[in-house]
Amino acid sequence: MGCNDDLRRARSALAEAELARRPNDRYLAAHLAALRVVAIVLTHRAPSGSGRTRGRPRNAWQMLAEVAPELAEWAAFFAATEARRDAIRAGATSIVSAREADDLVRDARAFLRLVERAIGFSAVRERPLDVASSYSPVSG
């Protein structure tokens, strides 16, 4: 799968998040959109076969921080959302407020835009992503 496919999937998940009525659904779709954005970065930056260590798959957020250290803050931020995502998947119904879901949608959108600009779809694997002056999930 190429970058265009990953980009289309990320945008589709983000659109689903923006249109979802229930906070849980917005939250899950926003988290999926962020994972799709990670796929874009990994397509450009990760060496082939880097997703496995001793036969076990590695966490996408860990891989992101390793292959794009300039995105480590984003990786840590989205990794911290996984517990709620897992709780929602397990059936929790009131674990995420509308505001929290909306915030995650906004953050996933910002993450996608950052990666789109940084990669420019002509990225060279060794070139760092230019994220210095961009939105940060922590500083808002």
Model confidence over 99-123: pLDDT tens digits? 999 999 999 999 999 999 888 754 4
How much is the mean pLDDT over the chain?
83
Amino acid in position 79: A
pLDDT at 1 over 60: no
Asked whether residue 132 is domain-assigned, the answer is no
Give the pLDDT of residue 6: 85
Angle at 113 between CA 108 and CA 117, to 5 degrees: 150
Asked whether residue 139 is domain-assigned, the answer is no
pLDDT band at 134 (very low <50, low <70, confident <90, very high): low
Give the pLDDT of residue 109: 96
Q: Are 72 and 53 in contact (CB under 8 A)?
A: no
Residue 10: give the domain boundaries.
3-119
Asked whether residue 21 is domain-assigned, the answer is yes
Asked whether residue 39 is domain-assigned, the answer is yes
Alpha carbon 27 to its chain centroid, in Å, reads 12
Number of domains the chain is built from: 1
Asked whether residue 124 is domain-assigned, the answer is no
Asked whether residue 133 is domain-assigned, the answer is no
Asked whether residue 55 is domain-assigned, the answer is yes
Give the residue-averaged pLDDT of 49-68.
73
pLDDT band at 43 (very low <50, low <70, confident <90, very high): confident
Give the pLDDT of residue 137: 67
H or E element: which one contains 27?
Answer: helix 23-45
Asked whether residue 49 is domain-assigned, the answer is yes
pTM for this model (two decimals): 0.79
